[in-house]
Amino acid sequence: MITPTSQAAGPTLLTRAATAILARARSAALVAGVISATGFAPLSLWPLTIAAYALLIALIADAKTWQRALLVGWLFGLGQFTLGNNWIATAFTYQAAMPAWLGWVAVVALAIYLAIYPALATLGAWSIERRFGGLRVQRGWPLVFAFAAMWIITEWLRSWVFTGFVWNPLGVALVTPGLADASALLGTYGLGGVFVLASGGFWLLGRGRGRDALAPGLLAAALMIGGFAYRVSAADLPSRAPGGQPVAVTVVQPDIPQETKADQSFDALNWSKLAALSVRNPDAPPRLLLWPEAAIPDFLEGGYPARYYDMVNLGGSSAAQSRDRLAALLGPQDLLVTGSEDLEIGGGPGGAHAIGARNSVTVLTPDARVIGSYDKAHLVPYGEYLPIRPILSAIGLSRLVPGALDFWPGPGARTIDLPGFGRMGVQICYEMIFSGRVVDRANRPDFIFNPSNDAWFGASGPPQHFAQARLRAIEEGLPVIRSTPTGVSGIIDAHGRVVHKLAMGNAGRIDEVIPPARTATPFALFGNIIPLLFAGLLLLLALVPTMRRTATKNP
């Protein structure tokens, strides 16, 4: 009879190397975490990420105690999040009130916290396997199923605990043609589970257990093939204006560096860049003119004390004059959608004054009327508002976005009707990373507009943000349009394919028609209940050996 011990006899060079690595589990976990982050943009070396997760599963299997299982997961996360989120350090170089070195402290401190989620995943998988599976007498694939389930659950937790920070979920490493289609069925977190299954299959192959690798490997392959088949078979909807014509857009990327946005002496120069790139071709059809987040300093809403318009409005001393200046760029049937800021005005002993701000998107007509707006709902802590402000400000900390006023959140995802152009969903900047929370499901839009300001985030942050926008397009079955000051701007179709994009650091514009939307995907209909149900199914599969043994003992 072949026992697990005898089956492993005669180790190959690969297994001897693995044994040497496992003997240094702590350093191996940290290094594997760093390697895993190379699968994210801009490197996109996802095969290395698969290898890193295969090593992580080996480290879980080798852990003798729950403390070791917890530690290897935490060290893995520390390595992954330190490298993957290194762009955050660049943001501190634009805030004169804080030293630049504090940016790297923030990167590591955030990684220390975020690493808790991989640690919980490894601990959960180890505990489930030890309690119910018995790795020493089983084949190893139950551990893979348990870890895939726990990874899905902990990534979902990371998306909302303490307001959530789910930058670079594992599934985004697969934003490559044909590999990410399953997210339309399972969502981003479910796609991460598929990634873990594939990595587990390679781990089992490395152990010389090809037959045992079939269970996770075949399930991962079946789900990815199913996603591809769904993409090929799903019907598209025509993306046309009510008059029957394709919806034309002009996406503007003015290449306005962050340091000039914060300096009022550059406001006129920055305005001239936006205006020059927005010139209308007289023979072109009616268009949507799309500008980035916070593209202009002007307040476009009326009713504020006059001193606020005098401080920032380039277009005159009133909101009406600024709107007239913008409307002059439009043709008779065009619309402008621009990032702007609004104020919250309150009373007090000194009279009416600003007590808060809104990060907004405003829709303007050729006759200078505001016909729609959206206020950013998911704000960036320490970026757009300072938590526990009295304490943190007393020790010298401030927001990364300059200004004394904290931003206030809006009510959440909504769809704006654009006369002649259909229905537009809006997600401002960072909001776009939250899977399942980017669309008003009761009023499904025809496309999502994602104005952003990625000028803060160095070389790696913008392409990572763009990759996550591609996943949202696949999940929701909706085209996504991004406009940013410095890149990456672009148009993404409902399959996640890039129709057109502008590279970082280049000024330019995109003149295109909006790609068609798809019928609502399963994920668009049901949201994150799908990946959570998938995680539950994986847990049940992990318990199959236990149920079989119980049935054998109790016929």
Q: Could you tell me the end-to-end alpha-carbon distance of the chain, in angstroms, rounded to an integer?
A: 24
The span from the CA of 337 to the CA of 264, in Å, is 23
The span from the CA of 194 to the CA of 175, in Å, is 13
Phi, psi of 406 (to 5 degrees): -80, 150
The span from the CA of 106 to the CA of 85, in Å, is 10
The span from the CA of 491 to the CA of 511, in Å, is 10
Give the CA radius of gyration of the chain. Answer: 26
Give the model's pLDDT for residue 382.
Answer: 80
% residues pLDDT > 70 (the chain): 87
Q: Which segments of the chain belong to CATH 3.60.110.10?
A: 248-520
445 close to 310: Cβ distance less than 8 angstroms: no
477: left (phi over 0), alpha (psi -120 to 50) or beta: left
pTM score over 0.85: yes
184 close to 227: Cβ distance less than 8 angstroms: yes
Can you give the three-state secondary structure of 513-527, one letter per residue?
ECCCCECCCHHHHHC
Give the model's pLDDT for residue 3.
Answer: 41
The span from the CA of 150 to the CA of 532, in Å, is 10
Give the model's pLDDT for residue 119.
Answer: 98
Give the model's pLDDT for residue 155.
Answer: 98
Pairing between strand 422-426 and 447-451? parallel
Phi, psi of 531 (to 5 degrees): -60, -30
In 239-290, where does DSSP find H-type helix?
258-261, 267-277
355-386, pLDDT tens digit by residue? Answer: 999 999 999 999 999 999 999 999 988 878 77
Please give the CATH topology (third level) of the domain spanning 248-520: Nitrilase/N-carbamoyl-D-aminoacid amidohydrolase (3.60.110)
Q: Which residues contact 144 (CB under 8 A, 6 or more apart)?
A: 57, 196, 197, 200, 201, 203, 204, 215, 216
Dihedral sign (CA 11, 17, 18, 24) = positive
Give the model's pLDDT for residue 555.
Answer: 52
Give the neighbor-by-neighbor strand order of the sheet with 370-375: 370-375, 353-364, 335-346, 287-290, 248-253, 508-513
478-506, pLDDT tens digit by residue? Answer: 999 999 999 999 999 999 999 999 999 99
To the nearest 10 degrees (0 to 180), the angle between helices 102-114 and 66-84 is 140
Residue-wise pLDDT tens for the chain (555 aa)? 334 443 444 446 656 665 666 567 778 999 999 999 999 999 999 999 999 999 999 999 999 999 999 999 999 999 999 999 999 998 878 766 667 788 899 999 999 999 999 999 999 999 998 877 554 445 689 999 999 999 999 999 999 999 999 999 999 999 987 899 999 999 999 999 999 999 999 999 988 888 889 999 999 999 999 999 998 887 666 666 665 678 999 999 999 988 887 778 888 999 999 999 999 988 889 999 999 999 999 999 999 999 999 999 998 889 999 999 999 999 999 999 999 999 999 977 667 899 999 999 999 999 999 999 999 999 988 878 777 666 656 566 666 666 678 899 999 999 999 999 999 999 999 999 999 999 999 999 999 999 999 988 889 999 999 999 999 999 999 999 999 999 999 999 999 999 999 999 999 999 999 999 999 999 999 999 999 999 999 999 998 776 655 445 555
